[in-house]
Amino acid sequence: MHCEVFGLYPYPFDYFRPNTLEEALVLAQGDGMKFLAGGQSLVPLLNLHVAEIKGVVDLQHVASALKFVQSQQDRLRLGALWTHDELSHSSLLGGRCPLFSQAAAFIGHPRIRRRGTLGGSIAHADPLAEWILVMTLLDPQLILASAKEERQLPFHDYLLGPMMTALSDDELITAVEISLPEKATYGFTEVSRRPGDYALVATALSVGWDRDRIAQADIAISGVSDVPRTFPSISRDMCQEYPSHGLVEHIKHAVEAAVDPPSDVLAGASYRRHLAGILVEKALHQAFDEMSNAGETAAKSIGKSEGERT
Ligand SMILES: Cc1cc2nc3c(=O)[nH]c(=O)nc-3n(C[C@H](O)[C@H](O)[C@H](O)COP(=O)(O)OP(=O)(O)OC[C@H]3O[C@@H](n4cnc5c(N)ncnc54)[C@H](O)[C@@H]3O)c2cc1C
């Protein structure tokens, strides 16, 4: 009685722990079945009786098959069962796309980072989740498998709204495939009310380089609209520019003018707008600093006035 009133325990459900991926996909075809990866979102929802299911397909024994990194020149394929912590500490990933460790550091607490997975976070699709922001920025192909077929879906067609996706009930996200520019640096930063909370506003950005000039840039921000959004025309303003304080100021003000955030109990619209501006500024400095630390010549360009922008 006590448990039912306060929702401390889930309603009863069947539990399956398959040993192969094929077996997991067949089990998932059953009515009301859910995959269980790290359990860091599903279990709280079940305990609070927000979700009611017939059974779970625990991926524990198939996790090792879905923890891989395939690195090609311009492409990276990541298995979906990597935990947040493993992504944060992978040296191969750190070398190819340090954005993953930058973002993972902001996810929840150590226990959550040790258990929660990339695929679980993408499937759960919380609009303030760090991986949802990173995926919005990088727009990877998601590799989805069911007992019937395997298909690829670009992330921009996958995320339909807050916690709404194009994933079918019996489909498993097995991997994400990311196209990476040959030479890029990244920035990721966020503000939350307390350490470990979901962000109020977060920014992820990438800067591709042609020697010491910006060849290409992308900016994504969460917490200013119902799902994270990108800023293609503002990002285009950075192309062919040298990194400079003037450029950072220009982008910061352009972002502040472009966002139209909601007010809610956690933060007002004007505060979210202000955060968007300063977080973009900080993330740009991270990306530019990373470039100068890599021994490139970007450093010498920092400090050019806006008038010197080409
Ligand atoms: C206190 C707390 C704080 C948190 N803070 C943050 C935070 O700051 N930032 C953040 O991003 N997250 C946060 N989280 C959520 C955490 O990151 C989860 O790990 C993540 O959202 C879900 O990953 P999981 O592996 O635990 O998935 P699960 O909980 O196992 O599953 C979540 C959902 O995804 C489905 N699913 C799981 N894996 C797959 C797959 N490969 N393919 C298809 N469907 C799948 C499940 O069926 C379920 O519906 C927090 C969680 C808690 C409890």
Over the chain (310 residues), the average pLDDT of each successive run of 10 is: 57 95 97 96 91 92 93 92 96 91 96 97 98 98 98 98 97 97 94 94 97 96 98 97 97 98 94 98 97 62 38
Q: What is the CA radius of gyration of the chain?
A: 21
pLDDT for res 304:
40
Instruction: Give the nearest ligand 1 atom to 131 CA.
Output: 11
With CA atoms as reference, report the closest residue to 261 among 272, 274, 253, 275: 272
Pocket test for ligand 1, best of 107, 109, 168, 174 (most atoms within 8 A of CB): 107
Instruction: Give the nearest ligand 1 atom to 167 CA.
Output: 43
Q: Which fold has domain 2-57?
A: 3.30.43
Instruction: Name residues contacting ligand 1 (CB within 6 A).
Output: 34-42, 44, 80, 107-108, 112, 115-117, 119-121, 123-124, 129-130, 172-173, 198
What are the residue ranges spanned by the domains of the chain?
2-57, 67-179, 184-308
pLDDT for res 2:
42
| CATH 3.90.1170.50 is right for the domain spanning 184-308 | no
CATH code of the region 67-179: 3.30.465.10
3-state secondary structure the chain: CHHHHHCCCCCCCEEECCCCHHHHHHHCCCCCEEEECCCCCHHHHHHCCCCCCCEEEECHHHHHHHCCEEEECCEEEEECCCEHHHHHHCHHHHHHCCHHHHHHCCCCCHHHHHHCEHHHHHHHCCCCCHHHHHHHHHCCEEEEECCCCEEEEEHHHHEEECCEECCCCCCEEEEEEEECCCCEEEEEEEECCCCCCCCCEEEEEEEEEECCEEEEEEEEEECCCCCCEECHHHHHCCCCCCCCHHHHHHHHHHHHHHCCCCCCCCCCHHHHHHHHHHHHHHHHHHHHHHHHHCCCCHHHHCCCCHHHCC
Closest residue by Cα to atom 27, ligand 1, is 120
With CA atoms as reference, report the closest residue to 267 among 172, 128, 138: 128
Contact between 146 and 216 (Cβ < 8 Å): no
Torsion of CA 36, 39, 42, 46, to 10 degrees: 100
CA distance 82 to 88: 10
Return the number of other C-beta atoms located less than 10 Å from residue 57's C-beta. Answer: 25
Closest residue by Cα to atom 43, ligand 1, is 172
Q: Tell me if domain 2-57 and domain 184-308 are identical in fold.
A: no
* pTM as predicted: 0.93
